[in-house]
Structure 1
Amino acid sequence: MLKTMFCRTRRTMTTWSCALLTLLVFVGLGFVLTILLEGSQAPSYAPQLYKMQSRIRAEAHHDNKEETDNKIHTCSPRSKYVFIATHKTGTVTTSNVFQRYAIINKLAVLIPTEGNVLSWGVSPVEEDYIHTPDEQYDAMWNHFTYNKTWLRSRFPADTAYISIIREPSNQLRSATNYYYLPKLMKIKSKNPVKTFLKNPWKYKKLSEAHYAYCNVTWDPSRNFMSFDLGYPAKGAEDEERAHKYIRELETDFTLVLLLDYLDESLVLLGRLMCWELQDILYVHKNNRHYSYKTYVPSQKELANLRRWKAVDYLLFDTFNASLWRKIAEQGKDFFDEVKHFKEVNTQVNTYCSERQKGEQNLTVAASKWSSQFEVDAEFCRIIQSVVRELLQPVQKGHERGRKLLSEKVNIKALINGQPTFKYTTERENYLHMAKSSKKTKSEGKIIKKKQNINEDTKKGGG
């Protein structure tokens, strides 16, 4: 029938032409039918172009290998990052995440020559940090007053900038205890936070601390977190400037974690950085206790604090909204992963805290979000360490007597009527000279007293 139809439409075609055309039509129809039949039976596969195998440690045995192998990743792990460790925001806990990742992945890090403070108030000078041979760096996680220009001159353009903040009233309570603020502001009460919040402006002249060595005025009771992120203390009441600066921070930072939602923040960090579950585990550290730690301010006190810490509240409100906006973009299984993360983190914490010498390693099974991994003694040692313990072996041999003095020591110095210094050696020299001077004065008084006694004796004997 097909032969007759085609030949009728082409009366001029030869018999051989008709036969050849008919053959080609039948072959084509057969090919199409084969494709259709195979397509209806074959399974559907994700394009291999977009598939990246899970990062699985070579030594790990996989019970859920099929499930893990079927994970489809659309990202590669990011290994260039700067973590700005703000103050009294849980950074002793969270810095370990970034430090651990750098150690395990052998990254080139920018760290201070001594101690944990890389900068405060002003940017570091060349002698303040350990230089790599090529001046190229992958990571940083120390206390550092954010300076975009300085950092971008040392880190590549694709660096992820990360920090952490917390609800400002919680940060104030922690800072009040840690920085001797009741003594600084001469508040004598069992609950100095409650006393302060009745009228913060009453203590303004006392709470402002001037660091003469760098000509920086800082108020540890006011916009502390904003100061750490580069906003000047003198801009505390400049609303327009604050809005502009915080909009810039939103552009600069890949993610700002919230201590108040740490688990959600870290799971989001893991997704944005394409890190494994074991990379974002943590152990709580520096959990201090003081009488007013759990104090909840009244609505009136919080209103006063919102006005007093206006820039910090703007910072928190901005990145609180940003965090939940980013989480909303992650899909329906995000909170299932958070739940799984909490369970694994508790499991690892318990194992590491109770682990006995020679005990078998803990195997954490694979899940839809992570590959299987093992927790051994070395992993426990690193995750339980504080920053300075892991820094000291790296810093060994680079010490130049240039350890930065912490802002806490300088606050105490101001309370005692002493000057502030940038380096510990400068303060040590000052204290030595002061002690020598005091000793000289004391010896002078003793000599003078003896002379007076001798003179009185001579007069009595005459």
Structure 2
Amino acid sequence: MYPYQLHPKSYLPPPRNQAFDLLVYHTVYERARYRKILPKDTVYLTIIREPLSHLKSTWNYYKLQKRFHIEDDGEDPILTFLANPGKYDKRCGHGRHVPYCLTQNAMSADLGFPAATNKQVGPGCDTDKREVITRKFLQIIKDDFDLVMMTEYFDESLVLLKRLMCWSLQDILYYKTNTRRYVSKEKQIPSKLQQNHREWSYVDYALYQHFNQTFWRRVDSAGNDFWGEVRYFRHINEKMRQLCDGYKASKPCSISTLKFKDSRWGPGFTLDRNFCMLAKRTLRCYLLLESERAAKALGLNRRNITIYSDVDLGQFNKAVKARKRRTTMKAIDVVLDNCVNCKLRDCGSLDYLSHFYHDGYVSSATYRSIVNREHPNFVRQCHVKTTVKR
């Protein structure tokens, strides 16, 4: 899907007489198509970040120095770019590369702002026309999105989301992965170059400024000791991280059950190793298991799912041959009997097994028998229990 708009060839269709209920992947926002395939009561959410911070992340992640052919002459290459962004940005082309090389209003482009319109809002443009275009775009986002979250205030955003959706604190717990630390030769970008970026990505800065203000107005009116809930959420999220980090196959007695009692912000809950497995599951594995669920709902099999996906038959056939030499059922055997998409490199057998068990394709007896034999520490409970109350 990404970096393009949503297209029917990019996703499995919904089951007969049903609608989609969740979008879990990157794509460019297109109002008409989303409203065509999602229910009328869909809640629309997005998250944005400070534009210069976003550029730095994009610069490193997509290796834009290399794409823009900027030599490393001792000065931070991003400074060379910011001195004249229009000179370099066009070198990637704005066809199939959008927005990989698109540094101008990249967040707005993800939210549906047409790349071609950048010519009318960039440096040297008619400022009155730029204001009209920008205000019109911001109004669309205001009308369409129920919540615009802020990357810099992620925990606060999640608490707002929890309240909007009437969720529990357990629903917004997160385990941070896929993070990077970048070393830049320049700790501070000069103010002149920052101003260049403001002119270059004018709509992104307007987007961020507007929704930064509305975000804090929403926080101020949240009530029910919002900041107390944020502090409590951070506390239990850190406890969850410690619990999940403590699970080691070689150290079974590091396993404990973390119990949280009822608080003024919601009912209590218990965290265990199964929760940690879900929390630490990779995005690729999560998406694969969701595709398994959708494929089964559509009645697809390994043969006809190839319309939508390339099944990893090489890895699958190798696993099938290995099964013939075994006399005892293993987790991978259950996977081979039940998988449709079968991209075995993207998910561990325990992830698959747990998924099929919770979806009702594997009996409790089979599930526990295999897990006890192959992953004894997964279900073993130590006597140590930690209780956190509020």
Class of the TM-score when normalised by the shorter of the 2 chains? 0.5 to 0.7
CA contact (8 A) 1:208 1:218 kept: no
Unaligned runs of 5+ in 1: 1-117, 405-462
Match of 2:134 among 242, 248, 255: 242
Match of 1:131 among 14, 29, 33: 14
SS in 1 for 2:44: strand
Distance 1:160 1:394, change over 3 A: closer
Distance 1:288 1:119, change over 3 A: closer
Match of 2:240 among 333, 340, 348: 348
1-side partners of 2:227 and 2:256: how far apart?
31
1:196-238 Cα deviation digits (max 9, x unpaired):
12222232432443229xxx68742221111111111111233
2-side partners of 1:381 and 1:218: how far apart?
32
Structure 1 or 2, whichever has the larger Rg, is 1
2-side partners of 1:209 and 1:120: how far apart?
11
Displacement of 1:294 after TM fit? 8.1
2-side partners of 1:250 and 1:375: how far apart?
37
- Show the counterpart of 1:73: none
1:175 partnered with 2:75? no
SS in 1 for 2:270: strand
1:364 partnered with 2:260? yes
Displacement of 1:384 after TM fit? 1.1
SS in 2 for 1:140: coil
Deviant stretches of 4+, over 6 Å: none
1:154 partnered with 2:37? yes
1:395 partnered with 2:270? no
Deviates more, 1:181-190 or 1:357-366: 357-366
1:329 partnered with 2:221? yes
Match of 2:3 among 116, 120, 133: 120
Displacement of 1:403 after TM fit? 5.7
Unaligned runs of 5+ in 2: 122-129, 293-301, 311-390
Between 1 and 2, higher relative CO (CA 8 Å, sep ≥ 6) is seen in 1
Q: Which structure 2 residues correspond to residues 84-103 of structure 1 after superposition, within 5 A?
A: none
Q: Which structure 2 residues correspond to residues 169-248 of structure 1 after superposition, within 5 A?
A: 169-189=52-72, 191-211=76-96, 219-236=101-118, 237-238=120-121, 239=130, 240-248=132-140
CA contact (8 A) 1:122 1:145 kept: yes
1-side partners of 2:95 and 2:185: how far apart?
27
- Show the counterpart of 1:143: 26
Displacement of 1:178 after TM fit? 1.3
TM-score (normalizing by structure 2): 0.68
- Show the counterpart of 1:451: none
Distance 1:399 1:318, change over 3 A: farther
CA contact (8 A) 1:224 1:312 kept: yes
2-side partners of 1:145 and 1:286: how far apart?
21
Displacement of 1:320 after TM fit? 0.9
TM-score (normalizing by structure 1): 0.58
2-side partners of 1:293 and 1:316: how far apart?
26
Q: Which structure 2 residues correspond to residues 256-271 of structure 1 after superposition, within 5 A?
A: 256-271=148-163
Q: CA RMSD in A?
A: 2.3
* Identity score, percent: 34
